[in-house]
Amino acid sequence: MVPSRDVYRGEVVHLTTEDVRLPNGFEMTLEIVRHPGASAIAALDDAGAVILLHQYRHAAGGYLWEVPAGKLDAGEPPEVCAARELGEEAGVAAEELVRVGEIVTCPGFCDELIHLFVATKLRPVPPTPGEDEVIARIEHIPLADAMGMIDAGEIRDAKTIAALLHADRRVHRTQEPS
């Protein structure tokens, strides 16, 4: 195990430095952001539309189109986080929640892993966003239109793009003749 030194420990991230030897023998000190992980959900309604949030993100300089997502609480399974975030942010619960993959967000300096889900058979529940969540709009957008938003650069959030790609693949896989 590589010894690590704490630089900063906050509510969301933990910054460490580590002295490492790379596989090619090069030695260096790395700054690594430790993150507890997250879940992101492409929620598809019965009409084939995906739920997108127009959410304010200060670090990104404004509003972004995103799928519901959130940070894992300590010891929380990704599926539980996904179900919680669907209700809190999008105001829906899913009868079916399928894990479809995961992404590593910024592997050059961060260990964050986002677990990706596709949710179906939705029913409404009261949304309960946190005080720190500014969601201007919750939209049901046809999946094909959401994919077009990616092509047009309107959706720039990586977890959203990855979740939508998985959802699109699942939808097209189930529509193919057997």
Specify the pairing of strand 113-124 against strand 38-43.
parallel
At position 20, the amino acid (one-letter code) is V
Residues 6+ apart with CB under 8 A from 156: 60, 64, 65
Active site residues: 131
174: phi then psi, degrees, rounded to nearest 5: -80, -15
- Residue 11 DSSP symbol: S
Angle between helices 158-175 and 143-151 (to 10 degrees): 140
Tens-level pLDDT at each residue, the chain (178 residues): 567 899 999 988 999 999 999 999 999 999 999 999 999 999 999 999 999 999 999 999 999 999 999 999 999 999 999 999 999 999 999 999 999 999 999 999 999 999 999 999 999 999 999 999 999 999 999 999 999 999 999 999 999 999 999 999 999 886 655 5
Q: What's the whole-model pTM score?
A: 0.93
pLDDT at residue number 172 = 87
| CA pair distance 36, 137, nearest whole angstrom | 27
Question: Where do runs of H (alpha helix) occur along 27-119?
Answer: 78-85
Domains of the chain: 4-33 (no CATH), 36-103+115-175 (3.90.79.10)
Query: Which structure tokens are listed for 100?
Result: 């479809």
Query: Which structure tokens are listed for 5?
Result: 């030194």
Number of alpha carbons in the 13 Å side-chain half-sphere of residue 170: 22
pLDDT at residue number 177 = 58
pLDDT at residue number 2 = 67
- What CA dihedral angle connects 97, 64, 102 and 119, to 10 degrees? 10
pLDDT at residue number 1 = 52
Burial class (CB in 10 A: 0-12, 13-18, 19+), 74: exposed
Distance of alpha carbon 96 from the chain centroid: 18
pLDDT at residue number 3 = 77
